[in-house]
Amino acid sequence: MHIFLQIGPLEEYLNSCREDDRTIALVPTMGGLHEGHLKLVEKAKACSDLVVVSIFVNPTQFAENEDFKAYPKTLSEDKKFLEAVKVDAMFTPSDNQIYPDGSSQDYDVGEMGKILCGISRPIHFNGVAQVVARLFDIVKPDYAVFGEKDYQQLLIIKSLVERQGIKTTIVSIPTVRELDGLAMSTRNNYLSSEDRTYAPLFYQQLDATKSAIQSGVDISTAIEQAIDALSAIFDVEYIEVLNANNLTQITTSSSEIIIISAVRLGETRLIDNIVFRRSYV
């Protein structure tokens, strides 16, 4: 596995690969790698000749009161993880490599960045768009692979690519879960042992809400029931049932819907969603 800390050598390596007509896939991460990241890498391998995994804890997507300084930094373990799965290149840039002129440039991701997670994290998606655009400019990947757990982020990145005419195909994989249903996340490491036993109830309730809607329960009633059930254990930030294609309100023409939610358990923020086809009119 090739390891790059600076942009110049990485670009030189990737240009030589392109001269050999090799396609490139990028898996952007913030490190703290786990089984969910392995699935991203497997998907990247399936759709390209060469896989680059970036590890960069992006400061522009964290507000002052968030966990930027506490975010798990496990570079040595991550390196071993990526070597074991035979990734071609690991890119671990410093802040000044990604933001040589500082990080003041603002990306306005539009209305989608102001709803759901964007309400409690108003700068988050602008920061995500900023770093993703920068990584795409450096790596120029044919494909970039993201997980569907961060569904709002996924749609914002797809919109960014379309609006800026970036020649990268966005590929997504379904949420990877623990055996008890909890969506895999680096931030799960923050959970206390007691909170970890309760955490799977989050997904279980989303699944119960899906079943209620499919059985004909009115959506607003299903949401109220879900809030009541979740509030017994979690601090509910939001739970919404929306059009899965654009996170707008459901209409009679909406074929796929998403139940999307964010909660807090202790000091840990959890997000999750379920997407399913509508089975009634």
Phi, psi of 15 (to 5 degrees): -65, -40
CA distance 26 to 126: 20
Residue type for 149, please? K
CA distance 205 to 225: 10
Name the active-site residue from 2, 34, 37, 124: 37
List Cβ neighbours of 112 (8 Å cut-off, separation of 6 or more): 118, 125, 152, 155, 156, 159, 246, 247
**HSE, side-chain direction, 13 A CA sphere, residue 265:** 25
154, burial (CB in 10 Å: exposed 0-12, middle 13-18, buried 19+): middle
CA distance 184 to 72: 15
Instruction: Give me 176's structure tokens.
Output: 């990877």
- CA distances for 225 relative to 77, 138, 232, 235, angstroms: 42, 47, 11, 15
- Residue 261 bridge partners (DSSP): 239, 272
Does the annotation count 124 as an active-site position? no
CA distance 115 to 130: 18
Instruction: Give me 152's structure tokens.
Output: 């709002």
Q: Which DSSP string corresponds to 217-247?
A: --HHHHHHHHHHHHHTTSEEEEEEEEETTTS
Write out the catalytic residue numbers: 37
